[in-house]
Amino acid sequence: MTDLLKIQQCIFQMYRRILGDHSFKTGNTHLNVLKQHGLHHPLELLFHAGCKLRRTLGQRLTLVQSDDIVNTVDWTHLQHLLQLVHVTWQEQSQVHMSIPDDEALAQPFHCEFCPFRSSYP
């Protein structure tokens, strides 16, 4: 799981460097960057790459001879890794869907006991 999150963070950093959208300058969250630029979530990219690898291996293993070196690599853990990536991606999507939009966060706060007002909750 730690490695998966490190890969995700690395892809987010690459996105931001390429786009020049650094959070300390723009204040954008990772999700805002994905939405604004129409980018795929890093775990989505990783999941689809893993699925492509699984298909390629399935096709390749049916075509090679039994003594081929390709048969020496154990890919039985690939399905488990794909499930881990998919579940993590879906969990993050659910969490992000429950987070209020920026408009909801920007509503001013009014104290009911005193005249204090703030634009931050």
Q: Domain boundaries in the chain?
A: 2-95
Four-CA torsion 92, 26, 48, 88, nearest 10 degrees: -20
Span 10-14, average pLDDT: 92
pLDDT of res. 12: 92
pLDDT of res. 62: 77
pLDDT of res. 121: 44
Please report, for the chain, how many H helices and E strands are present, in that order: 6, 2
Higher pLDDT, 93 or 51: 51
Express each pLDDT in 80-109 by its tens digit: 999 999 999 888 877 765 555 554 455 566
Distance CA 115, CA 112 (A): 8
